[in-house]
Amino acid sequence: MIEFVNISKKYQNHFWKKDFLALDDVSFKIQQGDLVGFLGANGAGKTTLIKILMDFSRQDKGEVKFDHNLGADQLAAKGNIGYLPERAYLYQHLTGREFLNYVGSLHSTSKNELNDLIKKWSEKIQIDYALDRQIKGYSKGMQQRLGFISALMHRPQFLVLDEPLSGLDPIGRKEFKSIMKELNTEGTTIFFSSHIVSDVEEICNKVVFIEKGKLIYEGSIDSLILKHSNDQYVARYSKGDQIESLRFSESNKNQMLSNLISQNINLLELEKEKPTLEEIIYKIKR
Ligand SMILES: Nc1ncnc2c1ncn2[C@@H]1O[C@H](COP(=O)(O)OP(=O)(O)OP(=O)(O)O)[C@@H](O)[C@H]1O
Ligand SMILES: [Mg+2]
């Protein structure tokens, strides 16, 4: 759907200093139907890459290729992308409703349809109670909610979200994640940056991980977890009124299980030990 091919980006901070390489030969693909988490520490280059994707910034090398699925040309493809910037610029003197009407009108939606969309999404994202207040009085999380609606209201095929979960309270985070999952199930491809590895692990099928402008990993989360699992099993069983557990390796599995069963225990659970995505990322970073 979208392919980044050998993207490099330099910033020149002072003309007498060496250029700073913010992205270094980054290549990866986002396929139609993917829900991709984009991870990396502060300053890793996530926003820089997202701005290049959106054409707000120009790479020094490489290219971003758009699939014809998104639109016949680059311009049509852009109309099919919903974008939430890291620091959304919402016109502060407008009310939430005026802002959403303005954004909706850019996508030439009829007045009635637009009213229905605003009602539906503002209720779903729980900002309906503040729609007639000026945005300058919104809290950070309220602005994030309004920005999120403005990105997805026109039902784009592809959503690009730069830290959509930042600034939200725990319930808001949970709701945003479930909406992202729902939109993805309905066919929207989503690419979003985050610092919270467990959020990415919870909802994404793919992860892209960059560090200091270099791609460290791109691919399925499941295969990354399986690749880093250590062939250890944990059996939980009850004996009398006690719950106990036993840890053993793949090579001992059959022996240990038959020992347990011969002792007349009640096997509750047998699980292969898996590292979390967070543990793996911490490991590959070092
Ligand atoms: N306009 C700019 N001029 C100079 N340097 C820049 C500019 N924009 C970004 N950088 C530098 O490029 C690097 C990557 O920044 P970027 O904003 O892409 O990081 P990020 O991964 O989005 O970080 P965060 O998680 O904090 O949002 C940083 O070192 C940053 O200082
Ligand atoms: Mg950023």
Residues 58-112: tens digit of each pLDDT: 999 999 998 877 777 777 777 789 999 998 778 889 999 999 999 988 877 788 9
**From atom 12 of ligand 1, which residue's Cα is the shortest distance away?**
22
- The residues pairing with 182 across neighbouring beta strands, listed in sequence order, are none
Given this model, what pLDDT does residue 262 score?
A: 87
Decide: 242 in ligand 1 pocket, CB within 6 A. no
CA 57 – CA 119 distance, rounded (Å): 34
How far are the Cα atoms of 63, 99, 200 from residue 4, in angstroms, in the given order?
Answer: 6, 32, 21
Pocket residue to mutate for ligand 1, from 15, 18, 46, 53, most atoms within 8 A of Cβ: 46
Q: Quote the pTM value.
A: 0.87
Decide: 43 in ligand 1 pocket, CB within 6 A. yes
Give the relative orientation of helices 111-124 and 96-106 as an angle to the nearest 10 degrees.
130
How far are the Cα atoms of 1, 11, 40, 47 from residue 210, in angstroms, in the given order?
Answer: 20, 18, 5, 11
Q: Positive or negative CA dihedral for 145, 150, 155, 158? A: negative
**From atom 9 of ligand 1, which residue's Cα is the shortest distance away?**
48
Given this model, what pLDDT does residue 25 score?
A: 97
CA of 86, closest atom in ligand 1: 27
Could you say which ligand is closest to the alpha carbon of residue 196?
1
**From atom 19 of ligand 1, which residue's Cα is the shortest distance away?**
43
CA 51 – CA 57 distance, rounded (Å): 5
Would you say residue 185 has pLDDT above 90? yes
Note whether 272 and 233 are within 8 A (CB): yes
**From atom 27 of ligand 1, which residue's Cα is the shortest distance away?**
42
**From atom 26 of ligand 1, which residue's Cα is the shortest distance away?**
42
Given this model, what pLDDT does residue 141 score?
A: 92
87 CA → ligand 2 middle, Å: 9
Given this model, what pLDDT does residue 241 score?
A: 85
Q: Which of 6-20, 70-84, 125-139, 142-156 has the lowest mean pLDDT?
A: 70-84
CA 250 – CA 1 distance, rounded (Å): 40
pLDDT tens per residue, range 193-204: 998 888 999 999
Decide: 213 in ligand 1 pocket, CB within 6 A. no
110 CA → ligand 2 middle, Å: 34
Q: Which of 122-126, 131-135, 267-271 has the lowest mean pLDDT?
A: 267-271
Parallel/antiparallel/unpaired status of strands 266-272 and 232-239: antiparallel
pLDDT tens per residue, range 202-243: 999 999 999 999 999 999 988 888 888 888 999 999 888 889
CATH class of 2-226: alpha beta
How far are the Cα atoms of 7, 61, 115, 195, 201 from residue 37, in angstroms, in the given order?
Answer: 19, 24, 32, 10, 8
Given this model, what pLDDT does residue 24 score?
A: 96
Given this model, what pLDDT does residue 286 score?
A: 62
Residue ranges of domains in the chain: 2-226, 230-276
Note whether 50 and 57 are within 8 A (CB): no
CA of 210, closest atom in ligand 1: 21
Pocket residue to mutate for ligand 1, from 8, 47, 51, 54, most atoms within 8 A of Cβ: 47
- 46: which residues sit within 8 A by CB, 6+ positions away? 38, 40, 162, 193, 210
CA 55 – CA 53 distance, rounded (Å): 5
Average pLDDT of every residue of the chain? 90
Decide: 13 in ligand 1 pocket, CB within 6 A. yes
Note whether 273 and 195 are within 8 A (CB): no
Given this model, what pLDDT does residue 276 score?
A: 85
